[in-house]
Homo-oligomer: A and B are copies of this chain.
Amino acid sequence: MISHLAVFRWHDDVDPADVERLCAALATLPAQIPELASYRFGPDLGLRAGNADFGVLAQLPDAAAVATYLDHPAHQDVVRTFTSVMVAQRATVQFVSG
């Protein structure tokens, strides 16, 4: 299994309503992208100073499934509509996790 982690820091003008719309869009992806073995996301809880604003955790069976997810039209639509506009800083990684 491969864990895909994405950590975002928002632009200053992003508000909770934007984040809610993003979450609603992300929630539609598992049904459209069956390669997603698990898909979790959410706003930072504010437990530690210096944290970023939002995290996405996708579990996928292999590298091909990672590519399918990242390049999927539904995912690209979310990137185009939301994250490419909202995200000031992004950090992503994929590693073998089991």
Contacts and interface: CB of A to CB of B under 8 A. Distances in A.
A52 B93 contact: yes
A92 B48 contact: yes
B5 A92 contact: no
Q: How many copies does the complex hold?
A: 2
User: Binding site of A, secondary structure by majority: helix, strand, loop or mixed?
Assistant: strand
B93 A44 contact: yes
Given A57-B97, A98-B40, A2 B45 contact: yes
Contacts of A70: 48
Contacts of A52: 91-93
A85 to B, nearest CB: 18
A14 interface: no
